[in-house]
Amino acid sequence: MTQPLRLGIAGLGTVGAGVVRIVRRQAALLEARTGRRIEISAISARDRSRDRGLPLAAYAWEDDPVVLARRDDVDVFVELVGGADGVAKAATEAALNAGKDVVTANKAMLAIHGQALAEQAEALGRSIRFEAAVAGGIPVIKALSESLAGNEITRVMGVMNGTCNYILTRMEAEGLGYNALFQEAGRLGYLEADPTLDVGGIDAGHKLAILAAIAFGTRPDFDGIAIEGIERISLQDIRQAADMGYRIKLLGVAQRSARGLEQRMQPCLVPADSPLGQLEGGTNMVVLEGDAVEQIVLRGPGAGQGPTASAVIGDVCDLARGFRMPVFGQPAISLRRAPAAIAGLPAPYYLRMSLLDKPGALAKIARILGEAGVSIDRMRQYGHSEATAPVLFVTHKTTRAALDHALREIEQTDVIAGAPVVLRIEHV
Amino acid sequence: MTQPLRLGIAGLGTVGAGVVRIVRRQAALLEARTGRRIEISAISARDRSRDRGLPLAAYAWEDDPVVLARRDDVDVFVELVGGADGVAKAATEAALNAGKDVVTANKAMLAIHGQALAEQAEALGRSIRFEAAVAGGIPVIKALSESLAGNEITRVMGVMNGTCNYILTRMEAEGLGYNALFQEAGRLGYLEADPTLDVGGIDAGHKLAILAAIAFGTRPDFDGIAIEGIERISLQDIRQAADMGYRIKLLGVAQRSARGLEQRMQPCLVPADSPLGQLEGGTNMVVLEGDAVEQIVLRGPGAGQGPTASAVIGDVCDLARGFRMPVFGQPAISLRRAPAAIAGLPAPYYLRMSLLDKPGALAKIARILGEAGVSIDRMRQYGHSEATAPVLFVTHKTTRAALDHALREIEQTDVIAGAPVVLRIEHV
Q: What is the pLDDT of residues A94-119, one digit of tens each?
A: 999 999 999 999 999 999 999 999 99
**Cβ within 8 Å of A, B 342-381:** none
- CATH of region A140-301, choose from 3.30.360.10, 3.40.50.300, 3.40.50.920, 3.50.50.60: 3.30.360.10
Q: What is the pLDDT of residues A256-268, one digit of tens each?
A: 888 889 999 999 9
Q: Are B289 and B158 in contact (CB under 8 A)?
A: no
Q: How far is CA B33 from CA A327, B28, B36, in A?
A: 11, 9, 8
pLDDT band at A323 (very low <50, low <70, confident <90, very high): very high
ipTM associated with this complex: 0.95
Q: Are A368 and A413 in contact (CB under 8 A)?
A: yes
Please name the amino acid found at residue B103: V
Kindly report the nearest CA distance between residue B2 and chain A, in angstroms.
15
Q: What is the DSSP string of A348-393?
A: -EEEEEEEES-TTHHHHHHHHHHHTT--EEEEEE---SSSEEEEEE
- Nearest Cα to A388, choosing from A421, A352, A355? A355
CB within 8 Å of A49: residues ≥ 6 apart:
none
Number of continuous H segments (helices) and E segments (strands) in chain B: 14, 16
Query: Chain A residue closest to B307 (CA)?
Result: A293
Kindly report the nearest CA distance between residue A33 and chain B, in angstroms.
5
Contact across the interface for A300 and B301, Cβ inside 8 Å: no
Q: Are A298 and A138 in contact (CB under 8 A)?
A: yes
Cite the beta strand spans of B272-310 per DSSP E: 283-290, 294-301
C-alpha–C-alpha distance, residues A210 and A109, integer Å? 10
Q: Are A424 and A269 in contact (CB under 8 A)?
A: yes
Residue, of A387 and B120, whose pLDDT is higher: B120
C-alpha–C-alpha distance, residues A17 and A22, integer Å? 9
Q: Are A54 and A45 in contact (CB under 8 A)?
A: no
Number of continuous H segments (helices) and E segments (strands) in chain A: 14, 16
In CATH terms, are B5-133 and B140-301 the same topology? no
Annotated catalytic residue B207: yes
Kindly report the nearest CA distance between residue A234 and chain B, in angstroms.
26
C-alpha–C-alpha distance, residues B52 and B45, integer Å? 11
Q: What residue spans of B191-234 are helical by DSSP H?
A: 196-199, 202-216
C-alpha–C-alpha distance, residues A207 and A391, integer Å? 35
Kindly report the nearest CA distance between residue B387 and chain A, in angstroms.
41
Q: Kind of pairing, strands B416-425 and B349-356?
A: antiparallel
Q: Are B261 and B212 in contact (CB under 8 A)?
A: yes
C-alpha–C-alpha distance, residues B101 and B327, integer Å? 11
Q: Which residues pair with B272 in a beta bridge?
A: none
Contact across the interface for A310 and B290, Cβ inside 8 Å: yes
Q: Are B248 and B242 in contact (CB under 8 A)?
A: no
Q: Are B263 and B167 in contact (CB under 8 A)?
A: no
C-alpha–C-alpha distance, residues A379 and A25, integer Å? 58
**Which value, to the nearest 10 degrees, does the dihedral of the CA atoms of residues B370, B374, B377, B383 take?**
-60
C-alpha–C-alpha distance, residues B241 and B268, integer Å? 10
**Which value, to the nearest 10 degrees, does the dihedral of the CA atoms of residues B217, B219, B220, B222 take?**
-130
In this predicted structure, what is the pLDDT of residue A211?
98
Task: Collect all residues of chain B within an 8 Å Cβ-Cβ radius of residue A143.
Answer: 139, 142-143
> Is pTM beyond 0.90 here?
yes
C-alpha–C-alpha distance, residues A72 and A57, integer Å? 19
B349-425 belongs to which CATH class? alpha beta
C-alpha–C-alpha distance, residues A130 and A15, integer Å? 13
Task: Collect all residues of chain A within an 8 Å Cβ-Cβ radius of residue B291.
Answer: 306
C-alpha–C-alpha distance, residues B318 and B74, integer Å? 16
C-alpha–C-alpha distance, residues B316 and B191, integer Å? 28
Kindly report the nearest CA distance between residue A29 and chain B, in angstroms.
8
Q: What does DSSP assign to residue A347?
A: B
Q: What is the pLDDT of residues A34-87, one digit of tens each?
A: 999 999 999 999 999 999 999 999 999 999 999 999 999 999 999 999 999 999
CB within 8 Å of B303: residues ≥ 6 apart:
B136, B162, B282
Contact across the interface for A32 and B334, Cβ inside 8 Å: yes
Query: If you average pLDDT over residues A134-149, what whole number do you get?
Result: 97
Q: How far is CA B44 from CA B12, B81, B105, B110, B211, in A?
A: 7, 9, 16, 21, 29
Q: Are B109 and B222 in contact (CB under 8 A)?
A: no
Facing B310 at nearest CB: one of A29, A138, A290: A290
In this predicted structure, what is the pLDDT of residue A383?
77
Kindly report the nearest CA distance between residue A30 and chain B, in angstroms.
6
pLDDT band at A408 (very low <50, low <70, confident <90, very high): very high
C-alpha–C-alpha distance, residues A56 and A48, integer Å? 10
Q: Other C-beta atoms within 10 Å of A219: how many?
A: 20
Q: What does DSSP assign to residue B170?
A: H
pLDDT tops 70 at residue A342: no
Contact across the interface for B33 and A149, Cβ inside 8 Å: yes
pLDDT band at A124 (very low <50, low <70, confident <90, very high): very high
Level-2 CATH architecture, domain B5-133: 3-Layer(aba) Sandwich (3.40)
B169 touches A at CB < 8 Å: no
Contact across the interface for A150 and B18, Cβ inside 8 Å: no
C-alpha–C-alpha distance, residues A240 and B137, integer Å? 37
Q: What does DSSP assign to residue A52?
A: -
C-alpha–C-alpha distance, residues A291 and A416, integer Å? 45
Give the angle A288-A330-A154 at the CA atoms, nearest 5°: 25
Coil vs helix vs strand at B326? coil
Facing A33 at nearest CB: one of B30, B292, B329: B329
- Nearest Cα to B59, choosing from B37, B44, B38, B42? B42
Query: Chain B residue closest to A320 (CA)?
Result: B325
- Nearest Cα to B158, choosing from B211, B109, B202, B218? B211
Contact across the interface for A331 and B147, Cβ inside 8 Å: no
Average confidence (pLDDT) per 10 residues, chain B, 428 residues: 92 97 97 98 95 93 98 98 96 98 98 98 98 97 98 97 95 93 90 90 98 97 95 94 95 90 96 93 96 97 96 98 97 92 84 90 94 94 80 94 94 91 92
C-alpha–C-alpha distance, residues A23 and A42, integer Å? 13
B290 touches A at CB < 8 Å: yes
In this predicted structure, what is the pLDDT of residue A387?
80
Query: Chain A residue closest to B322 (CA)?
Result: A323
Query: Chain B residue closest to A284 (CA)?
Result: B296
C-alpha–C-alpha distance, residues A170 and A191, integer Å? 15
Q: Are A224 and A340 in contact (CB under 8 A)?
A: yes
C-alpha–C-alpha distance, residues A163 and B83, integer Å? 48
* Packing angle of the helix pair B361-371, B400-412 (nearest 10 deg): 150
Q: Are B305 and A307 in contact (CB under 8 A)?
A: no
In this predicted structure, what is the pLDDT of residue B339?
85
Residue B260, judged by CB atoms within 10 A of its CB (0-12, 13-18, 19+), counts as middle
C-alpha–C-alpha distance, residues A261 and A340, integer Å? 5
Q: What are the residue boundaries of the structural domains of chain A, listed by start? A: 5-133, 140-301, 349-425
pLDDT tops 90 at residue A344: no
B16 touches A at CB < 8 Å: no
In this predicted structure, what is the pLDDT of residue B260?
87
C-alpha–C-alpha distance, residues A110 and A121, integer Å? 13
pLDDT band at A1 (very low <50, low <70, confident <90, very high): low
Query: Chain B residue closest to A141 (CA)?
Result: B147
Contact across the interface for A32 and B331, Cβ inside 8 Å: yes
**Cβ within 8 Å of B, A 131-160:** 131, 137-139, 142-143, 145-152
Facing B22 at nearest CB: one of A292, A310, A323: A292
C-alpha–C-alpha distance, residues B211 and B218, integer Å? 10
